Amino acid sequence: MADDVQKELFEDDEIYTLTDEDGVEKEFQLLGACELEGIEYLALIPLDDNEAGEYVILKHELDDNGEDMLVTIDDDDEFDRVADFFEDQLFDEVDYDEDGQGDNN
Please report whether residue 39 resides in a domain.
yes
Q: Is 94 left (phi over 0), alpha (psi -120 to 50) or beta?
A: beta
**pLDDT digits 0-9 by tens, 19-62:** 888 999 999 999 889 999 999 999 999 988 666 668 899 999 99
Count of structural domains, the chain: 1
Please report whether residue 101 resides in a domain.
no
**pLDDT digits 0-9 by tens, 9-30:** 444 578 989 888 899 999 999 9
Please report whether residue 51 resides in a domain.
yes
Please report whether residue 97 resides in a domain.
no
Question: Are the beta carbons of 94 and 103 closer than 8 angstroms?
Answer: yes
Q: Whole-model pTM?
A: 0.70
**At residue 7, does pLDDT exceed 60?**
no
Please report whether residue 92 resides in a domain.
no
Please report whether residue 26 resides in a domain.
yes
Using CA atoms, how far residue 20 sits from 2, 9, 49, 65, 80, in Å, is: 33, 25, 15, 19, 22
